[in-house]
Amino acid sequence: MAPAEGYDRSGMKDRVSGLARRIIPTREALVQSRFVRPLAARPELWRYTRRSVPRGIAVGLFVGIFALIPGVQIVGAALVCVPFRGNVPLAAGATLLSNPATTPMILLAALWVGSYLGLDADLTTLQSLIDQGAGLGEWTTWLVSSAAPALILGLLTIAAVFAVLGYGAAIIAWRWWTGRRRRLRLSRALAGAQRT
């Protein structure tokens, strides 16, 4: 299927890369933070290699889904990248999978998974809280009393599954990307050899 006339791929690429530059912290910005300054001083955490890219994606997905607290996610992913030698910018970007739009779905899925795995989250009470428009206090009471173990187990399970899937997808994407670069270099070299 041919792209629609007037469709500009470079414009979309520029918008996505501009968004990534605004959201993902740079190494220089992290050097200014006293909490993550030791991380920014380690250049191996900022390189894009075939090992650090999948590790960074896996760490970011795991921490992003399990933590679910916006400020904690990026800092937590950066800290977890140290022992696993993952790529910090990609880990920070991968935490964005859990955002205000996806968090309610992740929480509901985590409650369901936790209940499915044997911990009772009392989903009928959940439905009644939704129906009656419960306040923050009632939600907190329900979460702390009966749903917390199921929620934690569900978040842990979903985070682990997404981390493994992200790791595998990053390996496949890395191999495709490096293979594509090699083919382009080879075709340019052959084209240059044919001209001479």
pLDDT at 152: 86
29-33, 61-65, 128-132: least confident range: 29-33
Segment 50-72 shows an average pLDDT of 91
In angstroms, rounded to a whole number, what is the distance separating the alpha carbons of residues 170 and 57? Answer: 7
Residue 189 placed within a domain:
yes
| Residue labelled with tokens 């889904």 | 65
| pTM value > 0.75 | no
Contact between 112 and 154 (Cβ < 8 Å): yes
Residue 11 placed within a domain:
no
Q: Which two tokens stand for residue 7?
A: 């469709």
Residue 4 placed within a domain:
no
- Give yes or no for residue 2 having a pLDDT over 60: no
Residue 140 placed within a domain:
yes
Closest CA to 139 of 152, 155, 126, 123: 126
What's the number of domains the chain is made of? 1
pLDDT at 36: 65
- Give yes or no for residue 161 having a pLDDT over 90: yes
Segment of 31-40, 51-60, 113-122 carrying the highest mean pLDDT:
51-60
Residue 10 placed within a domain:
no
User: 83-102: per-residue pLDDT in tens?
Assistant: 898 998 899 889 988 888 88
Task: Provide the residue range defining the domain that includes 71.
Answer: 18-195
C-alpha pair distances (Å), 25 with each of 22, 87, 90, 149, 170: 8, 12, 10, 33, 21
Residue 63 banded pLDDT, cuts 50, 70, 90: very high
